[in-house]
Structure formats: structure tokens, C-alpha cells
Amino acid sequence: MKKLFCVMLSLLLALCPLSLCANAAEDGMRVFVTSDTHWHDVGSVNPDGFYRPRADMGQMTSLTPLLFDRFLKDAAASDADYVFISGDLTDDGGDDALDFAAILADFEDATGKQVFVVPGNHDIHMSRDPEDHLRFRRVFARFGWDEALAVHEASSSYVADLKDGYRLLAINSNKDNGGGLITADLLAWMEEQAARAKQDGKKLIAMMHHHLMEHFTLEQRIDGFYILDNYKEVCRKFDEWNVRVTFTGHLHWGDVAEYQGKNTIYDVTTHSLSTYPLTYRDVTFTDDEIVLRSRQIDSLDVANIVPGYSDEQKDMIANDPVAYAYGCQTDSLVSDYIGRFVEPEALIDLLGFAPDSKGAEAIRRIMPDVLIPLYGEGETVEAMAKALGYDLPESDYETVGDLIVAFWAAMVRGDESLGGNSTEGRLFLDAAYALFATKAAQESPAVRALLNARIISVLGLKGIDNIFTRKAFDLILTGFTVDKAPADNNVTLPGYGTNTAGFLFKLTAFFQKLLAFFRTLFTC
């Protein structure tokens, strides 16, 4: 049977129109893209654990000089024409910004490759100083503004020409609280630049820090910090202007999302270079296709590592930095964040309950402690499952919190596929059902009906009439942990010379998704 599917997959590959599975074009414009480098120069470290020091979400701030040096060496050794950095260049500006700008200048002088940057929420602090973007612009003037055809003075957004008829629309998407917004004035300026690009026969590529569209289910509702407040309006404009690709960052994940309008436009968000999985983008543009590849930093030169790391740490950082980064992320999630991922007040806010309402009170009673043991004696998830008449699958996971770490890591990597049919997915569904169903059974029918109606409405769970079931949990899990097309790490997107609204392209897109489906099920 496996061979049969491999033959079917081979036939599909042979019949794909428009060379769907083509390799990267030999020529064209090539760009190395990174984001959220969070570069920080520290004098020394004092670890209090093997996977420390580390900052929020496993961010290895003290290793950023080594990581960025490796990225620049890779870029220098390539035939890339440009380097794009989509925000959060340094961890907190100040003197680090001056030092980072000097590093970029040395790179440009040595290679002749142009660097383009935009500010992130760590680079400028508009809540403290609404004109902080002007300081950033002065420090990094060489990396976009000196080449600019036009600058939006109120935000320091700019446009600059690239090779092969492309033009970069570089946007400061920051607002005063660290979130993202394109103001009416900035959007009007962008429209002028789009009209000018069309008149000049140029193809617009955009770059900004915040997301152009949602990269996970209910992103704006759950945490609007990462996405433009007015993303729907801006998506419609980008579709109208035929801005096919926008490079973003901020979330520290690697993901590609699409918006279907007159054309198909893509938001390519890039991993943080300071966190697991230590990945950057290598993108080639031709008229027919945009070939996107992800490259991983698999070794580091630790000759200049800051003092304080042990020999064992340095050995792992040098030879398997990805595994070390994973350990830092896991340590951070378990120690600092798991309690907040499944936290009553966050769910109460998401569902729109008043803090003192009956619905809020019920959620506080029902929400489980995800750090209680899965197995063993006493109050465990295994005991709850047995009381409901089934056995919890065996695993090496100790708590539901450990499962959340696995899901998080998969979403950060991209191309995630941890739905209800995966090993982790099946365990999570059985555990979630045991935890929630046990507690929900203690509530009155009226309270369960209230929670059912509100959760189903907010999540849009069509065909579900009882939220406390494996089927409902599976739909929720799939929405977050199974990636939607297109692929995230290695994918060929339609070029600016392709009619994405045409029948042939839609047929092509259908075959791409069909191929992606088969690849997730079978490996020849």
C-alpha cells in the first residue's frame, strides 16, 4: 500500500502544471531575511542552570553576537544581493544600536551587499517618545534611508529600489504600546507610493515588524500584540496594490500565511535569530516564482563567547546550538510561562465574560492545573481517565504542560502537524477530556449550557453542541497545531509575473495542497 501511494505521488509530481515542485531559480534577485535578532553585548554571564542564562521564551540574548556573526558569514558567502532585517535589531536600543549599526556597516563595506532594516518594538519606544523613530533612523540611516526614494516623515517609513524591477516598501508599524498599526496618514502615503511604483513599472515587496494577517486561529482576539490593529484593511490595500510578499517578525515563529483577494498575497514571518530553531530565510525572486528556503545555524564559533559559560555548555553551543536553544526554550516555558498558557482570566477575557459573572466563576472552577502529574498515584490525569472509563495512553510526558511545550516548539518551527491523529495529539485529547469533563460534570446544566454557547460562538465550532467532548477538543487543537497551506519553511510561491487569480494558477494551487497532504501521510 505504501508503494502504491508513492507511485501516486510520483505521478502527481510528474503531472503538476507550471513546474510546481521546481528547484530554486538559478538567477533572479536573492535576499537573506532575518528578524528579531535582539543583539545585545554583555560583558559576562552567571548561569544558574545548564540552559541559562536565557530571557523570555528562551531568548539567548548573551549569544546574539555569535549567532548574528554566523548569519552574516553565511550571507557573505552566498550570492545574495540583499539582507533584510524586519525589526528588533537589538534588545533595547541605546549603545547596542550604535554597535550593531557599525557591524552592519562593516558587512556592507566588506561584501558590497546592501542591508535594509525597519524598527521593531524593542528598537523604538513610542510610548516614552513618539519621535523615537527619528533616533533609530539617524543611527541606521545607511541601511535604507540613504537610498530612499521617499520617506514618510511622521513614521520614518521609506521606499527604495532593488534590482530586477523590485521596490521595497519598508514600514514602521509600531504604535505606542508595542503593538502594530498603520495610521490613516501612513496608509495614504503608502497608497501614493503604490501608485508611483505602478507608474514606474516596479513590483512592491513590503517589510514591517508586525503581522499583516493572522498566523494562528483568533490571533488578534487572543493576543493582538503581534498583528496590525487594522490588518484587514491593510490586507485589502496590499491585494489592490499587488504587494505579493510582506516580510514580518515579532512573534519569533516561522510561518507563511496567505490572503485570498483579487490576487493571493503572503505574509512571511521569520523566526527570531536569538531563539529556537535558529533559522533565517533565503528567498529568490523571479518573474515566475518566489522560492523560499529556511536555513538553520547548526554550529557556532565560541572563541569569542562571553565569560561564564562552562566547558560543557560551550561544547553544546558550538556543536549543537539548535539543541541548546531548544533546552533554553523548554526551560523558560516550564519555569515562567506554562501557568499563563492555561489561565482562567485569559479565557474569561477571550470569551467576553465580566470578571464577576457566573460564567467567569465557572471558568475559574473548571480550568485545570496543567502541571498536575499525568501518571502515578493520587490526583493524576490517569486516575481521572480511569474514572471516566478509559486508559490514558502511555508516554514519557509527565504533565499536560510538557505537551504544551511540544506543541509550542512545533508551531515555532513551522509546518506543524500535531492534530488529533498524532501521538501527542491523541494524548492531549484524552488528557484534556479527563481534566475538563471531570470538572464540568460538577457544574449545573445551566452553567454548562452557558459555557457551551459562548465557547462555540467565539471559536466558530460548527456542528458542535457540547464543548466538553473529544471531537470539540480535536477541532480546537487542529486549529492551532496543524499548519494551513502554504508550507512555512520550504515553499515555492507564485512570482509577480504570475496571475494568481487565473484558472491555471488556481489549478496549480490545488495540486500543491494535494501534494502537501500526501507528503504529511507518506514518505517514500
Residue 397 cell numbers, joined: 510526558
Dump pLDDT digits (tens) for 315-325: 999 999 999 99
In this predicted structure, what is the pLDDT of residue 17? Answer: 40
Dump pLDDT digits (tens) for 338-379: 766 667 888 888 888 999 998 899 888 888 778 889 999 999
In this predicted structure, what is the pLDDT of residue 501? Answer: 53
Helices (H), ranges, 46-93: 64-77
In this predicted structure, what is the pLDDT of residue 448? Answer: 86
Q: What average pLDDT does the structure give for the chain?
A: 88
The pLDDT of residue 496 is above 60: yes
In this predicted structure, what is the pLDDT of residue 512? Answer: 56
The pLDDT of residue 337 is above 60: yes
Backbone phi, then psi, for 85, in 5-degree steps? -130, 115
Distance of alpha carbon 431 from its chain centroid, rounded? 27
Q: Which residue is it, cell 516623515?
A: 153
Whether the Cβ atoms of residue 261 and residue 234 lie closer than 8 Å to each other: no
Pairwise pLDDT comparison (10 vs 118), residue with the higher score? 118
Average confidence (pLDDT) over 48-56: 92
Dump pLDDT digits (tens) for 248-273: 999 999 999 999 999 999 999 999 99
Whether the Cβ atoms of residue 363 and residue 351 lie closer than 8 Å to each other: yes
Helix (H) or strand (E) holding 149: none
Distance from C-alpha of 215 to C-alpha of 225, rounded to nearest angstrom:
13
Q: What is the DSSP letter of 154?
A: T
Least confident of 19-23, 350-354, 433-437: 19-23
The pLDDT of residue 200 is above 70: yes
Q: How many C-beta atoms lie closer than 10 Å to residue 15's C-beta?
A: 9
Q: Provide, for the chain, the percentages of residues in helix, strand and coil under a 3-state DSSP scheme, each rounded to the nearest 5.
A: 45, 15, 40
Average confidence (pLDDT) over 121-129: 90
Closest CA relative to residue 522, chosen from 7, 22, 21: 7
pLDDT bucket at 176, cuts 50 / 70 / 90: confident
In this predicted structure, what is the pLDDT of residue 341? Answer: 62
Whether the Cβ atoms of residue 342 and residue 404 lie closer than 8 Å to each other: yes
Distance from C-alpha of 44 to C-alpha of 37, rounded to nearest angstrom:
19
In this predicted structure, what is the pLDDT of residue 144? Answer: 98
Task: Tell the CATH superfamily of the 2-330+490-521 domain.
Answer: Metallo-dependent phosphatases (3.60.21.10)
pLDDT bucket at 236, cuts 50 / 70 / 90: very high
Q: How many C-beta atoms lie closer than 10 Å to residue 503's C-beta?
A: 8
Helix (H) or strand (E) holding 333: none
In this predicted structure, what is the pLDDT of residue 21? Answer: 41
In this predicted structure, what is the pLDDT of residue 391? Answer: 94
Cβ neighbours of residue 370 closer than 8 Å, sequence gap 6 or more: 338, 341, 342, 399, 400, 401, 404, 435
In this predicted structure, what is the pLDDT of residue 505? Answer: 52
Q: How far is the CA of 212 from the CAs of 231, 347, 485, in angstroms?
A: 6, 25, 17
Whether the Cβ atoms of residue 171 and residue 157 lie closer than 8 Å to each other: yes
Average confidence (pLDDT) over 472-498: 90
HSE (side-chain half, CA atoms, 13 Å) at 386: 10
Backbone phi, then psi, for 113, in 5-degree steps? -90, 135
Average confidence (pLDDT) over 154-168: 98
In this predicted structure, what is the pLDDT of residue 255? Answer: 96
In this predicted structure, what is the pLDDT of residue 327? Answer: 96
Cβ neighbours of residue 404 closer than 8 Å, sequence gap 6 or more: 333, 338, 341, 342, 370
Closest CA relative to residue 388, chosen from 469, 480, 303, 488: 469
pLDDT bucket at 436, cuts 50 / 70 / 90: confident
Q: What percent of the chain has pLDDT over 90?
A: 65
In this predicted structure, what is the pLDDT of residue 9? Answer: 42
Structural domain boundaries of the chain? Answer: 2-330+490-521, 342-481
Q: Which residues of 154-179 are buried (b: 16+ CB within 10 A; e: fewer)?
A: ebbbbbbebeebbbbbbbbbbbeebb
In this predicted structure, what is the pLDDT of residue 10? Answer: 46
Dump pLDDT digits (tens) for 500-523: 554 455 555 555 555 554 544 444
Cβ neighbours of residue 304 closer than 8 Å, sequence gap 6 or more: 65, 66
The pLDDT of residue 16 is above 50: no
The pLDDT of residue 6 is above 60: no
Dump pLDDT digits (tens) for 391-414: 999 999 999 888 889 999 999 999
In this predicted structure, what is the pLDDT of residue 8? Answer: 42
The pLDDT of residue 20 is above 90: no
